Amino acid sequence: AMQNGDGPEGDGVKFFTYEDGGNYRGECAEDGKRHGQGTYTYPNGDVFTGTFVMGKRQGHGTYIHQVGGRFEGGWMNDTMHGHGKFVFQSGTIYEGAWFNNNQHGTGKLIEADGVYAVEYTHGKILKKQKMEKGAEG
């Protein structure tokens, strides 16, 4: 349940603190669900900034993990979906297709030793091939 919603901050932007310690600043539907642009801070310190549709992450958004790592890209029905880029805590970057919170489809993996063309199915890597220098673009 929502606590101490301290009223609109212009243009339908509200600030809520939740009982679990999370908080939200952004646009809401009339029933108080997160709806539109906003930033939700999770109880563990993770932060999502982007678009919500009736409480669910949908459209473009950035999720920053408090322990390190961040995702920027598409969301559908509260999951990472479509094209997105994940920067892992290790510094490795995956940029490519996502489905249901997993790497799924083709993309590229940027590691310390080079750039790889990769293909995943539901988070499991199928193919990984080093790209020639200059072919990264």
**pLDDT over 70 percentage in the chain:** 89
DSSP code at position 1: -
Each as own residue / partner, the long-range contacts of residues 127-134 (CB below 8 Å, 24 or more positions apart, any chain) are: none
**pLDDT over 90 percentage in the chain:** 84
Tell me the pLDDT band of 136, cut-offs 50, 70 and 90. low
The mean pLDDT value for 15-23 works out to: 94
User: Is a pLDDT exceeding 90 seen at residue 107?
Assistant: yes
d(CA 119, CA 4): 47
Tell me the pLDDT band of 13, cut-offs 50, 70 and 90. confident
Q: How far apart are the first and last CA of the chain?
A: 47
Supply the pLDDT for residue 47: 98
d(CA 124, CA 42): 28
Residue 45 dihedral angles phi and psi, to the nearest 5°: 100, -10
Give 44-92 pLDDT, tens digit per residue: 999 999 999 999 999 999 999 999 999 999 999 999 999 999 999 999 9
